[in-house]
A and B are shown apart, each in its own frame.
Chain A
Amino acid sequence: MVKEFGAWPETVWASGDRFGGTPVCGTDVGTTSVQAVIMSDGALVAYANLRCGYDFGEAAETALTRALKAAGLSRGDIKTCRATGFGRRRAAFADATAEEITCHGLGARYVFGPDVRTVADLGGQRTKAIRLYDWDRVRDFKISDKCAAGMGRGIERIANLLEIPISEIGERSLSAEKDPEPASTTCCNFMYPETMGLLRQGFREDEYSENDVLAAAMFTVAWRALGTIGKLSPLDIGEISLDGALGFTGGLAKNPGVTKRIERELGLSALPAKYDPRLTGAIGAALLAERDINPR
């Protein structure tokens, strides 16, 4: 089975700048990926982002090691560490855990700036929608049902079946000639056969290009995300009032095929991210870790 197309690239980064203060660490151990960030005095020092295998603890450990290496730091340099995310309790090196909604809220303000009011976390398995007050607190949140999970994973599978790199899949779906309906609005396990089925010639007039096929799949994911985001603010979905600006986080935040379609349906443009939006949860955890040592 081909696997490399659905495997998005893992990343490591360090600012390279000199930094002051006391380094802390935040890690977000998701179902599909793990991020570890090192922050100091409110600045982002380094991070690592990688795929989870079967051992969440080991994945978190690897993420931290990579981030430290990039920053030129050792474990002993880190004053304290907070873990969040699905597998937070497996991060043995964490001094404390924090739940994901709070971390996403805090992190979002860092990543998107103070205007952000709604955060849509589009992950490998689940979608979370968070509403914030204009100060530092979570006002409301919704998490997707167990049903309709697995959308991010579903896209990995589509990428592998079609043999199109996952990093291109979103952009290409925006060049579709047709504006197809979503391949499903219920389930990612229905999505992939129906998406692949579009390659079959139906009626002669129903020829689908590869971009059209991708469009149908991306639309599915976008539509399911709307099902969760919309619950935050149940007004007319077409004129949904999100009280301010929206930020996308999570793996699918990097997929314009999904994010642009959500924007189109909501009739708005999301806020640009100042940092890789996938780091939002880990940044939030790190900010909490900073508060642990500098309580306000």
Chain B
Amino acid sequence: MIKQRWETRPLEIWDRAKELRAKWQKSIDNRQHLLAQGNTVESDWSPGFEKYLKIVEDNPVGAFMASKSHSFARRARLASEVRGWGRELCGYVNNCWGAQFLGRDMDGGPFPYRDMCVPFPDVCDQHLKRGQQCMDLSPIPRWGGDMPIYPGERDPKRDEEMIEHRVYCNLKIIADIERIFGIEFDDERFVENIKLREKLSAYGLRISQLMTQVPTPLSAKDLYSFYTLGDLTKLNPEEINDFWKSFVDEVQWRADNRIAAVGGERYRYMEAHPPAWYYLKYYRYLESYGAVCIGSQYSHIMSGTLEVKEDGSLAHRDVTPPADKPIRTREDAVRQWITEARGNRFKDDEYCRKWAITDFARGFKADGAIMALWRCGVGCTLTRKEQALRLSEMGLRVLHCEGSQPGDRTDMDEHGFLDRIDAWMESQGLEKLDDR
């Protein structure tokens, strides 16, 4: 029997979240839309084409496959491998596009072949390769959504030029799609979406701020069910706005009443990456030690670009433009949207973004960290070891686990991971609270 330190209760908003997700699924099942390979965040212009086009990301498809069907995911990856795509490619990518080669999706239905590709590169191996299998299959139109990045001190002139470049790229993509597919872009809808995104980012920030509290009202595991709902669900702006408002209200109420996500919370750990989607029960295992995950830079991605202030609180980074700037042309709209010169991805470093791993640890009051060393995909392990050393210097105990990739269940050595968790916890003097 776990001795509860804090009161807990389940979230009330679960069912609404599930409903929304189901609605989104259905909305792309109808084959009336053109399907695009891409990423909804980087292709935020897509609501402008929403009558005709849907972005279907490969990451969530791959992650979903990883968590729902090992054997189908495995077959998909093999189908990709025997056609020459390396095993070390991202598991998400190989899952999703492997299914393309199989010609069917996880439910047995026909594979939703894409009509175009707008992949975006990133400071990570797999993003550059995303969509290659898709592009390889047939000569569909493809564009490059650039995400320029540079290490070192910020250079305002360079930033300006990078923003120009990205604005140009996106305007061209929109114009090309109009021309090639003969569809009209709805600028009003686009602007509406930008404003919605800014609102959602504010809601997201609130959630992140509330999770810095001890005890945390939400755990990372909870957050996974919500953090993409802003992206994937461009159904009805009012509905989404409404949902997020309710969500924030509920989490605020929990925080005010010190309702914890994990009743035994006595240890807070952070992560660095998408988790092993096929083995989320390790969060439950850690709860038996009274340890709760307060998230990662990845899971807090809804909040936009953050920084930790002098007083330790989280806030939006100052580059976010004021929402009341007038938008008169499509170009204005794109500029409003592209606020960040350098990629706001979560790959490391004081230089790349002003939310370094140590700031994150400080902001969320982390006691420890799990730094996964993934062999491929999603940032690979770029800088993970360096980050671990910096967290170590801060006084956090860091656990490393290894696997292929969050989308690829094999080589995770799940029992070995539990073993390491035991060693990590017990060598910090923490025994299990109950016999799980």
> Do A and B come into direct contact in the complex, CB within 8 Å?
yes
Q: Which of B114-122, B198-206, B381-389, B404-412 contacts A (4 or more CB under 8 A)?
A: B404-412
The B62-109 residues at the A interface (CB cut-off 8 A) are: 70-71, 74-75, 77-79, 81-84, 87, 101-103
Contacts of B81 in A (CB 8 A): 227, 230
Cβ–Cβ contact A236 & B103, under 8 A: yes
Complex CA–CA separation, A247 to B389 (angstroms): 52
Cβ–Cβ contact B74 & A185, under 8 A: yes
Answer whether A186 and B410 are a contact pair too, CB < 8 Å, given A231-B82, A236-B79, A236-B102: yes
A136 interface residue, CB < 8 Å from B? no
Question: How many B residues have CB within 8 A of the partner chain?
Answer: 30
The digit string for B277-291, where 1 denotes a CB below 8 A from any CB of A, is 000010001000000
Contacts of A234 in B (CB 8 A): 82-83
Partner of B411, one of A190, A202, A227: A190
Contacts of B418 in A (CB 8 A): 200, 202
B136 interface residue, CB < 8 Å from A? no
Answer whether A181 and B411 are a contact pair too, CB < 8 Å, given A200-B419, A230-B82, A236-B101: no
Report the minimal beta-carbon distance from A175 to chain B, rounded to whole angstroms. 20
Cβ–Cβ contact A202 & B79, under 8 A: no
B231 interface residue, CB < 8 Å from A? no
Cβ–Cβ contact B78 & A226, under 8 A: yes
Contacts of B87 in A (CB 8 A): 185-186, 227
Contacts of A185 in B (CB 8 A): 74, 77, 87, 404, 408, 410-411
Contacts of B375 in A (CB 8 A): 186
Cβ–Cβ contact A197 & B416, under 8 A: yes
Residue among B74, B82, B404, B411 facing the most chain A CB atoms (10 A cut-off): B82
Answer whether A197 and B78 are a contact pair too, CB < 8 Å, given A181-B70, A236-B101: no
Report the minimal beta-carbon distance from A196 to chain B, rounded to whole angstroms. 9
A182 interface residue, CB < 8 Å from B? yes
Contacts of A206 in B (CB 8 A): 415
Complex CA–CA separation, A234 to B78 (angstroms): 10
Complex CA–CA separation, A200 to B436 (angstroms): 14
Cβ–Cβ contact A202 & B78, under 8 A: no
Partner of B82, one of A182, A190, A200, A237: A237
**Which chain B residue has the least Cβ–Cβ distance from A208?**
B415
Contacts of B414 in A (CB 8 A): 197, 202
**Which chain A residue has the least Cβ–Cβ distance from B101?**
A236
Cβ–Cβ contact A182 & B83, under 8 A: no
Cβ–Cβ contact A182 & B101, under 8 A: no
Contacts of A202 in B (CB 8 A): 414-415, 418
A194 interface residue, CB < 8 Å from B? yes
Report the minimal beta-carbon distance from B75 to chain A, rounded to whole angstroms. 6
Report the minimal beta-carbon distance from A179 to chain B, rounded to whole angstroms. 9
Cβ–Cβ contact A238 & B411, under 8 A: no
B413 interface residue, CB < 8 Å from A? yes
The A207-249 residues at the B interface (CB cut-off 8 A) are: 223, 226-227, 230-231, 234, 236-238
Partner of B419, one of A182, A186, A197, A231: A197
Answer whether A186 and B404 are a contact pair too, CB < 8 Å, given A236-B101, A238-B75: yes
**Which chain A residue has the least Cβ–Cβ distance from B413?**
A194
Report the minimal beta-carbon distance from B249 to chain A, rounded to whole angstroms. 35
Complex CA–CA separation, A203 to B79 (angstroms): 32
Contacts of A227 in B (CB 8 A): 78, 81-82, 87
A43 interface residue, CB < 8 Å from B? no
Partner of A186, one of B75, B83, B411, B415: B411
Complex CA–CA separation, A187 to B402 (angstroms): 14
Report the minimal beta-carbon distance from A209 to chain B, rounded to whole angstroms. 15
Contacts of A223 in B (CB 8 A): 74, 78
**Which chain B residue has the least Cβ–Cβ distance from A187?**
B411
Partner of B413, one of A190, A203, A226, A230: A190
**Which chain B residue has the least Cβ–Cβ distance from A232?**
B82
Report the minimal beta-carbon distance from A14 to chain B, rounded to whole angstroms. 42
Complex CA–CA separation, A238 to B78 (angstroms): 10
A198 interface residue, CB < 8 Å from B? yes
Listed by A's residue number, 23 A-B pairs whose Cβ atoms lie within 8 Å are: A181-B71, A182-B410, A185-B408, A185-B410, A185-B411, A186-B375, A186-B411, A194-B413, A197-B419, A200-B418, A202-B418, A223-B74, A227-B82, A230-B78, A230-B81, A234-B83, A236-B102, A236-B103, A237-B75, A237-B79, A237-B82, A238-B75, A238-B102
Task: Give residues in B with beta carbon < 8 Å to A.
Answer: 70-71, 74-75, 77-79, 81-84, 87, 101-103, 281, 285, 375, 404, 408-411, 413-416, 418-419, 436
Taking A187-B411, A202-B414 as known contacts, 5 extra A-B pairs with beta carbons closer than 8 A to each other, sorted by chain A number, are: A194-B415, A200-B418, A223-B78, A226-B82, A230-B78
Task: Give residues in A with beta carbon < 8 Å to B.
Answer: 181-187, 190, 193-194, 197-198, 200, 202-203, 206, 223, 226-227, 230-231, 234, 236-238
